[in-house]
């Protein structure tokens, strides 16, 4: 695992966007695994800027998002479909046919999850999977406990996750959907490269637990340490509870 600690959120998200851009530039048909949430807003802003100012070309790129709420239509402003269109897809030249998110409105959710797994295989697998970390230690919506061989499936969201995401639903955790479709930890670990990004002091405790605690299904983000090509990008605040030994092993980049 490569750990990089950046001075602030702007430089951390810019570096993450740069890693994604390298994958886009180095493959003929790049396949990205994408995440949503507040952490990724800056990453997508930088990617949009790279497209407009540096000509980063998304025309051959396909994408698969980690998750989507159950029962929220794509047209709803709370859906992850809407989030992705709003923050990334409409700003770059990615084809609408090349972007994939699980359909949380499907009548047969199990069939939808199986089809999603198959679509990833049909695209040759994911080159780079972008990940945030939730307050429960989840990646995707893999709430504790999520065995490391789990696949795309319907899950019940932890009360803490509904609290974490309440601000996007007007502040009341009860208004956050109780279920979601998510790639499994096993699905995520099959990506050829993982890129985990965490920002801010609110993530410091769970970041330390995921990177230094037991590798355990109770903290699904700890599974990234099992991957042979994983980069973790933190800002100073989210790295603040790591031990000096871990921090000594990190790269510190200035820009």
**From 11, 36, 62, 238, residue interacting with ligand F6R (rule: CB under 6 A):** 36
What's the closest the beta carbon of residue 67 comes to ligand F6R, in angstroms? 5
Contacts of 49 (CB under 8 A, 6+ apart): none
Other CB atoms within a 10 A radius of the CB of residue 55 amount to 8
Among 39, 63, 79, 150, binds ligand F6R (CB under 6 A): 39
104 binds ligand F6R (CB under 6 A): no
Q: What is the DSSP letter of 79?
A: S
Query: Per CB under 6 A, does 132 bind ligand F6R?
Result: yes
Provide the token pair at 156: 């019940």
Q: Between residues 5 and 139, which has the closer beta carbon with respect to ligand F6R?
A: 139
**Which two three-digit tokens encode residue 255?**
């820009």
CB-count burial class (<10 Å; 0-12, 13-18, 19+) for 148? middle
The answer to whether 83 and 40 have CB atoms below 8 angstroms apart is no
* Residues 58-97, mask of contacts with ligand F6R (x by CB under 6 A): --------xx------------------------------
Pairing of strands 67-69, 153-156: unpaired
CA distance 255 to 253: 6
Min dist CB 27 to ligand F6R, Å, is 23
Closer residue to ligand F6R, CB minimum distance, 10 or 60: 10
**Count of residues binding ligand F6R (CB under 6 A)?**
13
Of 33, 137, 140, 184, the residue at the interface with ligand F6R (CB under 6 A) is 140
Q: Judged by CB, which is closer to ligand F6R: 59, or 71?
A: 71
The stretch near ligand F6R (CB under 6 A) out of 19-27, 71-79, 126-134, 211-219 is 126-134
| Minimum CB distance to ligand F6R, residue 159 (Å) | 14
Neighbours of 71 (CB within 10 A): 12
Give the CA distances from residue 26 to residues 30, 58, 60, 195, in Å, rounded to whole numbers and listed in that order. Answer: 8, 12, 11, 16
- E strands of 202-244, at which residues? 230-235
Which residue ranges make up the site for ligand F6R (CB under 6 A)?
35-39, 66-67, 132-134, 138-140
């Amino acid at each position: 695992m490569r750990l990089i600690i950046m001075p602030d959120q702007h430089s951390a998200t810019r570096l993450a966007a740069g890693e994604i851009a390298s994958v886009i530039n180095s493959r003929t048909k790049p396949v990205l695994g994408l995440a949503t949430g507040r952490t990724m807003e800056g990453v997508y802003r930088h990617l949009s800027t790279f497209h407009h100012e540096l000509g980063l070309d998304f025309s051959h790129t396909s994408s698969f998002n980690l998750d989507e709420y159950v029962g929220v239509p794509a047209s709803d402003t709370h859906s992850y479909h809407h989030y992705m269109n709003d923050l990334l897809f409409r700003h770059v030249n990615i084809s609408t046919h090349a972007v994939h998110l699980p359909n949380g409105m499907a009548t047969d959710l199990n069939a939808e999850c199986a089809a999603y797994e198959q679509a990833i295989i049909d695209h040759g697998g994911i080159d780079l999977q972008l990940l945030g970390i939730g307050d429960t230690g989840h990646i995707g919506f893999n709430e504790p406990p999520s065995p490391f061989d789990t696949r795309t499936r319907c899950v019940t969201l932890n009360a803490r996750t509904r609290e974490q995401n309440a601000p996007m639903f007007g502040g009341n955790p009860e208004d956050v959907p109780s279920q979601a479709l998510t790639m499994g930890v096993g699905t995520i670990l099959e990506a050829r490269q993982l890129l985990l990004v965490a920002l801010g002091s609110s993530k410091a405790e769970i970041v330390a637990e995921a990177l230094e605690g037991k590798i355990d299904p109770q903290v699904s983000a700890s599974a990234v340490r099992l991957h042979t090509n994983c980069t973790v990008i933190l800002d100073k605040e989210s790295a603040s509870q790591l031990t000096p030994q871990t921090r000594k092993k990190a790269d510190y980049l200035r820009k």
